[in-house]
Amino acid sequence: MTHHATATATSDSALAPDAGPPDAGPPDAGPPDAGAPDAGALAAGAPDPEEVYALGANPAETARLIRQSAELRPEALALLDELGLAPGRPDADPSARPGVGSAIDLGCGPLGILDLLSAVVRPGGRVVGLDADPAHVSAARQYAERRDLRGLDVVEGDARHTGFPDGSFDLVHARTLLITIPSPAEVVAEMARLARPGGWVACQEPDVEVVLCYPPLPACDALTDLFRASFERAGADLRIGRRVGGMFWDAGLEDVHVTVHANAYPAGHTRRTVIPDLVRSLRPVIVEMGLASAAELDSLDTAVREHLADPRVLMMPHLLVSTRGRKPELRTYRRLSSRLWRQRRSASARPRAPTSGRWRTC
Ligand SMILES: C[S@@+](CC[C@H](N)C(=O)[O-])C[C@H]1O[C@@H](n2cnc3c(N)ncnc32)[C@H](O)[C@@H]1O
């Protein structure tokens, strides 16, 4: 795992509402200098991004993720607000903010919510971004340098096995990571392990069962079906949003709360075309699977984008499910974990080692 450190204080300029990431470049242009993934740059312990990430590693997908950080900013701010961590006004005294001492964004992509986390850690605090894709790691580091986001490390690694010690962070966050991973419970268990006792674990994950396009368009249905079929091929669960709360309880978290955001995006909003955009990222997979030819994809893409350009059309491409929970204080957790262990032992024919051991060093 490689580590990268910049300097050490937070920048309130990161708080400018709706500012979006500067230098994001025009849509589909790719982030400056992000470059193509370099297999040689993969650190030991980091998985091959082509293997773990259903949407592939390429500059267009990196650019889409930079747009996503601006698109989902209101929901990210709402989540931080629920945690009592709403970033203050840009001119507010940073020492007066509630803040946390440390936070990590797992699967941060080229930006994720690193800018917002930098704004909610106390002065002298620490923010870590972790991603499997070296191109995303490099883009996130460049963003942090341009914005002079201090106290921020961006590291290459596997969200399922980060290698950080137990209880390292006050806040452990992931957004649209679990949906891309065939074994999301492993990531949730790692998130719970990384949180300090009493610390927060939070996820924002979509649920793409209900896509509302009205008036309907057969080409839109066809493109959505292609998205579902190709994305699920990699083991991704498109209904993950609704499952996260249960996974939090299973991982021994408590005080679990779920909020569902249902947004219809107006014409001109970049999130409105997220399904055709995702299909563009999945194009090689779709063609290789024989689900559609390149020419068919082009014609569906044109028809759907024309439809969505009409301001009278309503488009809700997904639900976004925010889930937050707390890691119990150590004494409570020990009680809870021994109960979980007894339950597991009686449910399983083969006795296993108690998972509670993972928490003992917290
Ligand atoms: C859909 S993107 C989300 C990026 C960012 N969280 C956001 O919301 O904008 C998923 C990210 O998770 C990363 N990823 C996928 N599997 C991973 C793993 N096992 N470990 C670390 N990162 C992973 C991908 O490289 C990608 O950057």
Ligand 1 centre distance from Cα of residue 353 (Å): 30
What are the residue ranges of helices labelled H in the chain?
Answer: 49-52, 59-71, 73-82, 114-120, 134-147, 184-194, 218-233, 240-250, 274-289, 294-308, 330-347
**Those residues with Cβ within 8 angstroms of residue 233's Cβ, 6 or more apart along the chain or in another chain:** 54, 285, 289
The tokens describing 35, both together, are 């470059």
Q: What is the pLDDT of residues 67-125, one digit of tens each?
A: 999 999 999 999 999 998 876 544 455 555 567 899 999 999 999 999 999 999 988 89
Neighbours of 308 (CB within 10 A): 22
Residues in the chain: 362
Ligand 1: lining residues by beta carbon, under 6 Å: 47, 49, 52-53, 65, 68-69, 107-109, 112, 131-133, 136, 158-160, 175-177, 180-181
The tokens describing 353, both together, are 């080692």
Ligand 1 centre distance from Cα of residue 69 (Å): 12
Please check whether residue 299 lies inside any domain of the structure: no
Atom of ligand 1 nearest to the CA of 111: 9
The tokens describing 211, both together, are 């896509």
Ligand 1 centre distance from Cα of residue 176 (Å): 7
Smallest CA separation from ligand 1 atom 1, residue? 176
Smallest CA separation from ligand 1 atom 26, residue? 109
Cross-strand partners of 103: 127, 171
Neighbours of 343 (CB within 10 A): 10
Neighbours of 296 (CB within 10 A): 14
Ligand 1 centre distance from Cα of residue 109 (Å): 5
Above 70 in pLDDT, residue 354? no
**Candidate of 65, 105, 128, 131 to mutate for ligand 1, largest count of ligand atoms within 8 Å of Cβ:** 131
Cβ-in-10-Å burial (0-12, 13-18, 19+) of 312 comes to exposed
Task: State what percent of residues in the chain have pLDDT above 70.
Answer: 72
Ligand 1 centre distance from Cα of residue 51 (Å): 12
User: What's the CA gap between 324 and 326, in Å, rounded?
Assistant: 7
pLDDT of 54 = 61
Atom of ligand 1 nearest to the CA of 187: 19
Domain count, the chain: 1
Smallest CA separation from ligand 1 atom 13, residue? 107
Q: What is the pLDDT of residues 275-311, one digit of tens each?
A: 999 999 889 989 999 999 999 999 999 999 999 999 9
Atom of ligand 1 nearest to the CA of 53: 15
More confident residue, 352 or 334: 334
The tokens describing 354, both together, are 């108690």
Q: Please name which of 164, 205, 198 lies closest in space to residue 184, comparing C-alpha atoms.
A: 205
Mean pLDDT of 246-275: 97
Q: Is 30 left (phi over 0), alpha (psi -120 to 50) or beta?
A: left
Smallest CA separation from ligand 1 atom 15, residue? 53
Mean pLDDT of 153-180: 97
In this structure, the strands spanning 319-326 and 195-207 are antiparallel
Please check whether residue 342 lies inside any domain of the structure: no
Residue owning tokens 């268990």: 189
- Amino acid identity of residue 259, one-letter, is T
- Amino acid identity of residue 118, one-letter, is S
Smallest CA separation from ligand 1 atom 17, residue? 132
- Amino acid identity of residue 85, one-letter, is L
191 close to 324: Cβ distance less than 8 angstroms: no
Smallest CA separation from ligand 1 atom 12, residue? 107
Above 50 in pLDDT, residue 22? no
Cα 18 vs. chain centroid, distance in angstroms? 19
Q: Please name which of 141, 139, 171 lies closest in space to residue 153, comparing C-alpha atoms.
A: 141
Q: How confident is the model at residue 326 (pLDDT cuts 50, 70, 90)?
A: very high
The CA-atom distances, in angstroms, between 330 and each of 170, 185, 256 are 14, 22, 17
Smallest CA separation from ligand 1 atom 25, residue? 133
User: What's the CA gap between 340 and 186, in Å, rounded?
Assistant: 16
Neighbours of 6 (CB within 10 A): 15
Torsion over CA of 56, 227, 158 and 47, rounded to 10 degrees? Answer: -40
Q: What is the pLDDT of residues 139-152, one digit of tens each?
A: 999 999 999 888 89
Ligand 1 centre distance from Cα of residue 59 (Å): 14
Please check whether residue 7 lies inside any domain of the structure: yes
pTM of the model: 0.79
Query: The CATH number of the domain where 51 resides is what?
Result: 3.40.50.150
Q: Is 9 helix (H, G, I), strand (E, B) or coil?
A: coil
Please check whether residue 212 lies inside any domain of the structure: no
In this structure, the strands spanning 152-156 and 121-131 are parallel
Domain span at residue 59?
2-14+26-38+45-207+238-263+319-329
Ligand 1 centre distance from Cα of residue 224 (Å): 22
User: What's the CA gap between 330 and 278, in Å, rounded?
Assistant: 42
**Candidate of 80, 130, 180, 238 to mutate for ligand 1, largest count of ligand atoms within 8 Å of Cβ:** 180
Atom of ligand 1 nearest to the CA of 69: 9
The tokens describing 73, both together, are 């900013």
pLDDT of 64 = 87
Please check whether residue 219 lies inside any domain of the structure: no
**Those residues with Cβ within 8 angstroms of residue 278's Cβ, 6 or more apart along the chain or in another chain:** 55, 64, 227, 231
Please check whether residue 173 lies inside any domain of the structure: yes
Above 50 in pLDDT, residue 39? no
Please check whether residue 218 lies inside any domain of the structure: no
